[in-house]
Amino acid sequence: MILPDKALESTTSLPLDAPPAYEESTTQPVAGPSRYPADTKHQPAQVNASSPPKTPQSTAGSWFGFASPATRQVRTTVLGLVRDLVKTPADETNSAVATSILKSCAEACSANGLSLSALLQEKSIEGHTAIYWAIVKRPAVATTSADASPPSSLDLLTALLSLAAPLTADTISDIRLACLLTSDQALFQRLRSSAPDFSPLSPTDQLLLDASSPPDSILVENTPHDEFAFGVDFTIVRFQTRMRVSKCVELDFIARGRMWRLGFHVSERRRPGMPAPGAWYITLSLLEHSPPTWIDSRLLVPAPEAPQPSPPPASGFGSGFFGSGKTRSRPTLSVRMKAAEQLHANPRGHRRKEIIMLLDEGDGESGLGTLQYAGCPYIQPDESLHCRLEARLARPEAECIIC
């Protein structure tokens, strides 16, 4: 709750538009009165034009050492209010009240030269950000109808994400960890499709996919009665165009307590242990924070609907060599992806272990190599590709059996 404003005991007082003082007991010392008049404004030092720009967090960290007592008090108050918001049980958090408090904090920060975005991304709550705790404390709710109102915890999370933008790499990593710890695949995909900073498209994909293009669809299914198996259905928008122009399509998802990435790539240069330039290939890897595991999997592309047989030609020309024009059912495309050793998620900046398979290395004629050719019948009329990954977290055997 917001307490009424109280004047400081010294001659220096908080700005009128600052949020109320946070009076919860704390071991941090309270700043003493300022030696300068209350209307004295901080004059920033001259910065060399050649100096590299600083991030909001690094700038705030260096500036607070010279901030006035009033500004430091505003900072402490804002962090305390945000901590109270995420500490309150989600079913008791009124979204309107939370939004009002955060709006008040934003106005106070703006009036005192503080960045609310930087404060919300500080790992000031038990080593994590407020956004992390808003995700971890979200109650597990069953799927509701489309017209159902969103839970209060989601409204609070949306407000925090909006005010914290743009997100730093450390904050995004903290959010991904929270989604992984709660195995919240639905929220993870919602953030990927709605938060620009969370899963940004490449500049090329931004040109290819306009606002009317739907996001890639990823649906995870945990196999019943087998805690080691799962399946994932993908719908990849404008697959062939993105592969030919962007050279890469990456799909992240959470399954069985791990974060995965299925990638489709076109090799652009010669590298040791990688496919030759121009080759299309698939990768499967673990992402950060995920424990190591064995995996045996298979990527499947379902057969397209059988077309109507064409009428026989009026003359017999061409019917001998090419056949009588009869249609035959097409097989389901399949490529096995198994780990020769346990997969590990290496820290950012290091090359991680991953499974690499050429599209042409499928099971005989049913390999995925046909996906790279124009007019491929497995590509939908809207140029989307439907495929399914079936996997089991176990050491690969002679034959891949996905339950």
**Do 196 and 223 lie in a common domain?**
no
231 part of a folded domain: yes
**Do 381 and 233 lie in a common domain?**
yes
**Do 230 and 369 lie in a common domain?**
yes
**Do 229 and 270 lie in a common domain?**
yes
**Do 195 and 228 lie in a common domain?**
no
42 part of a folded domain: no
- Whether the Cβ atoms of residue 41 and residue 34 lie closer than 8 Å to each other: no
User: What are the backbone dihedrals phi and psi of residue 329, each rounded to the nearest 5 degrees, phi first?
Assistant: -65, 140
The rounded distance, in Å, linking the Cα atoms of 388 and 403 is 14
**Do 112 and 137 lie in a common domain?**
yes
The rounded distance, in Å, linking the Cα atoms of 311 and 313 is 6
List Cα–Cα distances, 262 to 125, 254, 266, 293, 355, in angstroms: 33, 11, 14, 16, 10
**Do 280 and 365 lie in a common domain?**
yes
The rounded distance, in Å, linking the Cα atoms of 153 and 182 is 14
246 three-class SS: coil
94 part of a folded domain: yes
287 part of a folded domain: yes
Closest CA to 67 of 97, 102, 43, 86: 43
* pTM for the full predicted model: 0.74
272 three-class SS: coil
Secondary structure (DSSP) of 219-272: EEEEPTT-TTEEEEEEEETTHHHHHHHTSEEEEEEEETTEEEEEEEEE--S--T
316 part of a folded domain: no
The rounded distance, in Å, linking the Cα atoms of 347 and 291 is 12
**Do 267 and 338 lie in a common domain?**
yes
CA 67 to chain CA centroid, nearest Å:
35
Task: Tell me whether strands 217-222 and 229-236 are parallel, antiparallel or unpaired.
Answer: antiparallel
The rounded distance, in Å, linking the Cα atoms of 323 and 398 is 38
Cα angle 208, 209, 213; round to 5: 150
**Do 178 and 262 lie in a common domain?**
no
382 three-class SS: coil
**Do 160 and 272 lie in a common domain?**
no
User: Domain range holding 276?
Assistant: 201-304+330-403
Helix (H) or strand (E) holding 98: helix 95-111
pLDDT at 195: 77
230 part of a folded domain: yes
345 three-class SS: coil
- Whether the Cβ atoms of residue 19 and residue 34 lie closer than 8 Å to each other: no
Q: Could you tell me the end-to-end alpha-carbon distance of the chain, in angstroms, rounded to an integer? A: 52
Per-residue pLDDT of the chain (403 residues; tens, 9 = 90+): 444 444 434 444 445 455 555 544 444 444 444 444 444 444 444 444 444 444 444 444 444 445 688 899 999 999 999 999 999 876 555 777 888 999 999 999 999 999 999 999 999 999 999 999 999 998 776 443 334 445 555 688 999 999 999 999 999 999 999 999 999 999 999 998 887 778 777 888 888 988 778 899 999 999 888 999 999 999 999 999 999 999 999 999 999 999 999 999 999 988 887 889 999 999 999 999 999 999 999 999 998 876 555 555 555 544 454 455 555 678 999 999 998 899 998 765 556 689 999 988 755 556 899 999 999 999 999 999 999 999 999 999 865 445 4
309 part of a folded domain: no
Task: Tell me whether strands 385-392 and 229-236 are parallel, antiparallel or unpaired.
Answer: antiparallel
43 part of a folded domain: no
**Do 247 and 167 lie in a common domain?**
no
**Do 205 and 190 lie in a common domain?**
no
The rounded distance, in Å, linking the Cα atoms of 106 and 114 is 9
Give the number of domains in the chain. Answer: 2
What CATH number does the domain containing 334 carry?
A: 2.60.210
Task: Tell me whether strands 280-286 and 258-266 are parallel, antiparallel or unpaired.
Answer: antiparallel
